[in-house]
Amino acid sequence: MAESTKTFKIRIPATSANIGPGFDVVGLSLSLYLTLTVTVSPNNARSPPTLSYSGEGADEVPLDPYKNLTTRVALYVLRCHDVSSFPHHLAIHVANDIPFGRGLGSSGAAVIAGVLLANELASLNLSTSRMLDFALMVERHPDNVTAALVGGFVGSYLRDLDEDAQARVQVPLSEVLPEYPPDAGEDWGRDPPHPPEGIGHYICFGWAESIKAVAIIPKFELSTAKARDVLPQSYSRKDLIFNLQRLAVLTTALSRSPPDPGLIYDAMQDRVHQPYRKQLIPGLPEVTTRLTPSTHPGLLGICLSGAGPTILALATGNFERIAEDAKKIFAEKGIDVDWKVLDVCEGSAVIKDGQQTWKAA
């Protein structure tokens, strides 16, 4: 029987990590998506995969599948399962709503897209936990990738690994995602570093339905690497306790209906990353202190989204005023912003013939 064309979509949400005190711990999936439309045609003649992009990042992202983050991650996962190349006649169109380098988890989404792509192309049937292992070999903090994969408001940690497993997760990223030569063929390279089992563990928290996220997105990029470089290597006991106390309260406070603005506003304060990042984001201290539940009824709390520069305001109403007032403060610093009101949404999905065929379990 002749094989038919295989088509499916992969949809990954944006994410906001940290939510104030939960640096590298909590993430929230938001209703802005990276969508891949994948077609594999039934033709055995050798042909390289083709990649096209529309939307955010379309003018800067590499379209060479051996250089693009999503397809390189897919190839890594395939090679770990003895599949040495992409299928012939593979075409991928990426429609992207998630702006690059803004603190909305664009790289985490691209990595999860690569893992799901490999899982579908080679029918690997990986568990959610194993998918997370592969993602964590590439993006080494768990907050964005976990929230992108499983969805909702999620807390995660990296397990203390034994010596051998620890060495495996610490291999340089260049070995996990090598620079493939242009004519990378079936026999390319040596065995890739396989992830140990169960690198990351997570739990999904509740989320009060009335809470939406206002993303105030400055029109400049800040790479996560640069925003991590400004952080200190160690912290005082006082600052760590400050964050731990707030995070413990925040994870439950955001699940309660009606939400308590006084409690949430305080619980979203942070002393671990935001104070150090203000030098990279003009307007950050002003926006996060001048907008409060008293000045802007409906506002619950306000923080840096991920590594920034986006500001995340959690609110039950008054969205436009919150966003426009934040915009005015940024304008005083000469920074133009876009803003969007987003819902907390489900995690990643694979869709065939309009039906969802995979979601995290």
Ligand X SMILES: Nc1ncnc2c1ncn2[C@@H]1O[C@H](COP(=O)(O)OP(=O)(O)OP(=O)(O)O)[C@@H](O)[C@H]1O
Binding site for ligand X (CB under 6 A): 17, 34, 57, 61, 68-70, 96, 100-108, 110, 144, 223-224, 306-307
Q: Six-digit token pair at 153?
A: 């408001």
Indicate which of ligand HSE, ligand X, none lies near residue 61 (CB less than 5 to 8 Å, by partner kind): ligand X
| Whether the Cβ atoms of residue 30 and residue 13 lie closer than 8 Å to each other | yes
Under DSSP, the state recorded for 282 is T
Which residue has its beta carbon closest to ligand X?
A: 306
Indicate which of ligand HSE, ligand X, none lies near residue 70 (CB less than 5 to 8 Å, by partner kind): ligand X
Q: Which residue do the tokens 């291999």 mark?
A: 171
- Out of 306, 313, 323, 350, name the contact with ligand HSE by CB under 6 A: 306
The number of beta carbons lying within 10 Å of the beta carbon of residue 298 is 17
Residues ≥6 apart with Cβ < 8 Å to 193? 137, 168, 171, 175, 176
- Out of 307, 322, 326, 344, name the contact with ligand HSE by CB under 6 A: 307
Candidate ranges 139-147, 157-165, 203-211, 340-348; the one touching ligand HSE (CB under 6 A)? 139-147
Indicate which of ligand X, ligand HSE, none lies near residue 274 (CB less than 5 to 8 Å, by partner kind): none
Indicate which of ligand HSE, ligand X, none lies near residue 24 (CB less than 5 to 8 Å, by partner kind): ligand HSE
- Out of 56, 143, 270, 325, name the contact with ligand HSE by CB under 6 A: 143
User: What's the full length of the chain, in residues?
Assistant: 361
Nearer to ligand X, 62 or 285 (CB): 62
What is the phi/psi pair of residue 349, to 5°? -145, 150
Minimum CB separation of residue 224 from ligand HSE in Å reads 4
Indicate which of ligand HSE, ligand X, none lies near residue 18 (CB less than 5 to 8 Å, by partner kind): ligand HSE
Minimum CB separation of residue 185 from ligand HSE in Å reads 34
| Whether the Cβ atoms of residue 300 and residue 253 lie closer than 8 Å to each other | no
Residue 324 carries which side chain, given as an amino acid letter? Answer: E
Nearer to ligand HSE, 147 or 315 (CB): 147
Minimum CB separation of residue 179 from ligand HSE in Å reads 23
Residue 55 carries which side chain, given as an amino acid letter? Answer: G
Nearer to ligand X, 145 or 208 (CB): 145
Minimum CB separation of residue 141 from ligand HSE in Å reads 5
Per-residue contact string for residues 262-301; x = within reach of ligand HSE by CB under 6 A: -----------x----------------------------
What is the phi/psi pair of residue 161, to 5°? -95, 160
Residue among 150, 167, 169 nearest 158 (CA): 169
Rounded Cα distance, 361 and 349, in Å = 11
Cβ burial of 345 (10 Å; 0-12, 13-18, 19+) is middle
What's the order of all strands across the beta sheet hosting 337-342? 299-304, 311-315, 212-218, 337-342
Strand partners, 315: 212, 299
Q: Which residue do the tokens 């997370």 mark?
A: 132
Minimum CB separation of residue 26 from ligand HSE in Å reads 9
- Out of 23, 76, 86, 134, name the contact with ligand HSE by CB under 6 A: 23
Residues ≥6 apart with Cβ < 8 Å to 5? 39, 40, 41, 42
Residues that bind ligand HSE (CB under 6 A): 17-18, 23-24, 141, 143-144, 224, 227-228, 273, 306-307
